[in-house]
A and B are shown apart, each in its own frame.
Chain A
């Protein structure tokens, strides 16, 4: 722990930035916007670092909660329209450089993929649409043609399944 301030920050960034940026990019789609939001997220994490309480969970979960919440805020501020309009509005005028893509690589990704596979299709869909794509539960209900209560129940079941598959908690 006897590390300098700068070293600690840069190491924290190096350990987590591809996850944070990747999750943000998935929701916001524009690389430039994702980079800007990622920077905001790190600054906010930094400002709030002293509030991190290890008894309440891992650093990564704490950081990703921050990151996810901020990204979703941005998605919904940028556009309040329906899912369809949201995507129709942002079309074709951006280029995503996939060269740095780390999607699906490494043992942790394999673990996550196995956990996703353990779910039923519908559970996987609702988790994907909410957590990765940033849709609200109402939007998911609309997209999948399911009652809202069913969507909520499937999200809960999906998270329980993932939690058990990943061995989180007791």
Chain B
């Protein structure tokens, strides 16, 4: 994989700096393979979003609808562009295959798990080009002052199509049974990393970079390390939570590889890591801390 290719995942997850992003977009323009991957990965990450779905404040709905309905935010430049777009659509593109869509929702049925198809294979609903054509020619007839209105008609048509496509794509999941409600460890890690009060404390253990990721609201912490040097012989790394001078064992860390240890902190004011006798560790720390973090 060339270096340019290798940024594709970071591009889709918006993890590039502006300069890196510009470089990748430059590459993307000439790389079909990357464009396919960007499209597929974009579908993929969008399908992860139920993991973080949160109802917005009720007032936001009215606010968004009012702002859109008022049309105050239509930018003349964008209006002009969508006008161009409309004219392009009038020329039917023979390469675009428009799949048939059931006429009514009642023709749909829940799909079995084996029938689940990726979102991008679902029949998409395109605004009928004749409608768009009508809207565009309306604007020719009515002149420049009506462009804004025409744009809104176009947008309404497209939006209606978007809604149908969305409802349709959601349908495949209907037969999926709701699985376990209990938060798995993965879910807990995700929750912790994205907790509103999360704090990350970078540190080192015997020269290796480590991070303490702490959420006091969730009363949890993650100890993250990669390739920790082996502890002194006959010892193992052990994590601790402190309440004042009282230490409570918070788990032993296996040797080698990537460490990703979730601990309950129970309102601790300090966390630390020490090497303790293997394999069972100690009931209170017997050596100086290799890394510790005070929690305010």
Verify that A and B bind, or say they do not.
yes
Contact of B6 among A63, A152, A159 (CB under 8 A): A152
For the complex, is B258 an interface residue (Cβ under 8 Å from A)? yes
The closest CB in chain B to the CB of A140 belongs to B15
Contact A43 B64 (CB under 8 A): yes
The prevalent SS among residues of A at the interface is: helix
Contact A158 B9 (CB under 8 A): yes
The closest CB in chain A to the CB of B97 belongs to A55
- In this complex, the member of A27, A63, A144 whose beta carbon has the largest number of chain B beta carbons within 10 angstroms is A144
| In the complex, per-residue mask of B156-200: 1 if CB is within 8 Å of any chain A CB, else 0 | 111111111111011001101111110110110111011011111
Contact B50 A19 (CB under 8 A): yes
For the complex, is B94 an interface residue (Cβ under 8 Å from A)? no
What band does the interface of chain B fall in when counting residues whose beta carbon is under 8 Å from A?
A: 35 or more
What chain B residues lie within 8 Å of A64 (beta carbons)? 42, 45-46, 49
How many residues in A have their beta carbons less than 8 Å from beta carbons of B? 117
What chain B residues lie within 8 Å of A105 (beta carbons)? 50, 53, 178, 181
CB distance from A140 to the nearest CB of B (A): 7
For the complex, is B236 an interface residue (Cβ under 8 Å from A)? no
CA distance A114 to B85 in the complex (A): 40
Contact B54 A18 (CB under 8 A): yes
CB distance from B6 to the nearest CB of A (A): 5
What chain A residues lie within 8 Å of B41 (beta carbons)? 159, 163
What chain B residues lie within 8 Å of A42 (beta carbons)? 64, 67-68
The closest CB in chain B to the CB of A131 belongs to B13
For the complex, is B252 an interface residue (Cβ under 8 Å from A)? no
Contact B65 A138 (CB under 8 A): no
Contact B178 A110 (CB under 8 A): yes
Kindly list the 4 A-B residue pairs having the minimum CB-CB distance in the complex, ordered from nearest.
A145-B209, A107-B176, A100-B55, A54-B124
Write 5 A-B pairs (CB below 8 A) sorted by A numbering: A43-B73, A109-B51, A135-B15, A143-B211, A145-B211
